[in-house]
C-alpha cells in the first residue's frame, strides 16, 4: 500500500536528515528539516542539502528557491535513481553557482553524471497515417516523446494509440475520458467521434466562455497556442510547438509548454509558457534549450499576475541569455499585450 502524503513527507525528512548527518559529520538531532512538495531540505552549517523524492525531476526549482529564501548560497541536491539524478544534474549545470547533484547509493552519496541529450522518439509509419484525420478536422497536431496528439487550444482531445491490437485514434480529454468515450460510443465512426469532442470542447474552451473544468485544464498549452497564433506578442517572427523535456502522464500535469522559433532579429529562441506560480519553469526552460538549441535565448512567458520575483531571480542565474515576459490583460484574448 502506498504511503499517504504525510507519511511520505515524514519519511523523506527522516531520510534526508540521516543522509546529511553522514555526509557532513553533523549530529542528526541538531539538523533542521524543511519539507516542500517533492522533497525535503536540510540546513547544515552554511550549506543546504535537498533530498528529492524519486522521480521528482521538477522539484529542482523549488529547492533552489527555498535555498535562496533561506539565504544559503551552497546547495546540494540528492536523488535516488540514476534517471532522476542525471536529469537534475543536466538541469543544474545550466546555472551560475550551480547546485551540486548527488546520487544516493545506500547511505552514501556519489556525484551524479548529467544525462545526455536523448535521441528523439519518432512515431511509427502506421501512427503517422492517422495525422491526416486530425488535420482534416482542424485539430492541432503535436508529437511528444513519440506520441501523436490532437489538441484544441492547447488541450489534448485525441491521441494515436498503438497496441498489440493495432494502431487507432482515440478521442477524449485525457486517458480516462478516451476510455469512457470508447465504452459509451464504441460504434461511432472515429471521424464522427472526433467531431463530437471538438464541438463539446470548442464551446467551453474560449476566452469569453463561462467557468468550466475544460477551461482550466492545460492552461500552459492554451498560452502556447495563443503565442503560436500571435508570436509578435513576445517579439518573435514565428514559433512552433515542441515536446517538453520530460513526458506528461496526464492532461492534469503541471509543466511548461515549449515552443521554438526566431525573434524579430532572426536569432533562435526557446519559449517556455507557464500559467500560475511554477517554481520549476526556469530549470525546465533551461533543459528545453539544451535539448533543442543550446545557443538559443530562453524566453519564459507568463500572465502578468504570475510574473513572480522568484522566477526572475532564477532566470538571472541561467548561463546564457534569458528573459521573463509577463503578458498583461486576459492572455486568452486578442487584446493581450506584453
| Tens of each residue's pLDDT in the chain, 338 residues | 566 777 888 888 889 888 988 888 778 777 888 888 888 888 888 899 999 987 788 889 999 999 998 898 899 999 989 999 999 999 999 999 999 999 999 888 999 999 999 888 999 999 999 999 999 999 999 999 999 999 999 999 999 998 888 898 888 887 776 766 665 555 566 788 889 899 999 999 988 888 898 889 999 999 999 999 999 999 999 999 999 999 888 888 889 999 999 999 999 999 999 999 999 999 999 999 999 999 999 999 999 999 999 999 999 999 988 999 999 888 887 545 55
Residue 23 confidence (pLDDT): 85
Indicate whether 116 belongs to any domain. no
Pair 184, 226 in one domain: no
Residue 2 confidence (pLDDT): 64
* CA–CA dist 259, 268 (Å, integer): 11
Pair 232, 175 in one domain: no
Indicate whether 117 belongs to any domain. no
Pair 30, 104 in one domain: yes
Residue spans of alpha helices (H) in 76-209:
82-92, 125-128, 131-136, 174-184, 190-204
Pair 35, 12 in one domain: yes
Residue 172 confidence (pLDDT): 84
> Into how many domains does the chain fold?
3
- Residue 263 gets the label, from left (phi > 0), alpha (psi -120 to 50) or beta, of beta
Indicate whether 212 belongs to any domain. no
Pair 154, 99 in one domain: no
Q: Which of 135, 170, 204 is the last residue of a domain?
A: 204
Indicate whether 335 belongs to any domain. no
Residue 126 confidence (pLDDT): 95
Pair 263, 235 in one domain: yes
CATH number for the domain spanning 318: value is 3.40.1350.10
Indicate whether 307 belongs to any domain. yes
Q: Which domain holds residue 74?
A: 5-111
Pair 173, 232 in one domain: no
Indicate whether 310 belongs to any domain. yes
Q: How many Cα neighbours within 13 Å face the side chain of 195?
A: 6
Indicate whether 338 belongs to any domain. no
Indicate whether 209 belongs to any domain. no
User: pTM of this prediction?
Assistant: 0.90
Residue 28 confidence (pLDDT): 76
Pair 224, 188 in one domain: no
Pair 225, 323 in one domain: yes
Amino acid at each position: 500500500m502506498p504511503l499517504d502524503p504525510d507519511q511520505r513527507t515524514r519519511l523523506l525528512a527522516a531520510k534526508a536528515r540521516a543522509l546529511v548527518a553522514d555526509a557532513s559529520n553533523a549530529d542528526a538531532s541538531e539538523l533542521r528539516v524543511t519539507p516542500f512538495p517533492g522533497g525535503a531540505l536540510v540546513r547544515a552549517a552554511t550549506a543546504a542539502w535537498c533530498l528529492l523524492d524519486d522521480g521528482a525531476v521538477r522539484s529542482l526549482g523549488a529547492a533552489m528557491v527555498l535555498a535562496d529564501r533561506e539565504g544559503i548560497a551552497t546547495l546540494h541536491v540528492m536523488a535516488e535513481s540514476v534517471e532522476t539524478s542525471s536529469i537534475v544534474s543536466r538541469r543544474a549545470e545550466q546555472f551560475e553557482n550551480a547546485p551540486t547533484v548527488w546520487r544516493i547509493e545506500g547511505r552514501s552519496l556519489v556525484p551524479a553524471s548529467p544525462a545526455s541529450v536523448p535521441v528523439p522518439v519518432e512515431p511509427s509509419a502506421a501512427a503517422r497515417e492517422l495525422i491526416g484525420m486530425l488535420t482534416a478536422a482542424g485539430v492541432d497536431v503535436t508529437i511528444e516523446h513519440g506520441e501523436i496528439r490532437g489538441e484544441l487550444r492547447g488541450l489534448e482531445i485525441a491521441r494515436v494509440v498503438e497496441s498489440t491490437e493495432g494502431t487507432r485514434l482515440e478521442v477524449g480529454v485525457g486517458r480516462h475520458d478516451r476510455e469512457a468515450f470508447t465504452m459509451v460510443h464504441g460504434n461511432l465512426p472515429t471521424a464522427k467521434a472526433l467531431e463530437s469532442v471538438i464541438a463539446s470542447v470548442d464551446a467551453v474552451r474560449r476566452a469569453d466562455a463561462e467557468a468550466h473544468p475544460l477551461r482550466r485544464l492545460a492552461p500552459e498549452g492554451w498560452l502556447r497556442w495563443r503565442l503560436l497564433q500571435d508570436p509578435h506578442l513576445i517579439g518573435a517572427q514565428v514559433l512552433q510547438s515542441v515536446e517538453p523535456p520530460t513526458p506528461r502522464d496526464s492532461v492534469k500535469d503541471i509543466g511548461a509548454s515549449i515552443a521554438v522559433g526566431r525573434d524579430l532579429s532572426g536569432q533562435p529562441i526557446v519559449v517556455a509558457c507557464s500559467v500560475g506560480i511554477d517554481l520549476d519553469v526556469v530549470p525546465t526552460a533551461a533543459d528545453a534549450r539544451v535539448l533543442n538549441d543550446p545557443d538559443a535565448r530562453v524566453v519564459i512567458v507568463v500572465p502578468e499576475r504570475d510574473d513572480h520575483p522568484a522566477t526572475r531571480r532564477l532566470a538571472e542565474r541561467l548561463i546564457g541569455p534569458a528573459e521573463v515576459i509577463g503578458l498583461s490583460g486576459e492572455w486568452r484574448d486578442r487584446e493581450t499585450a506584453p
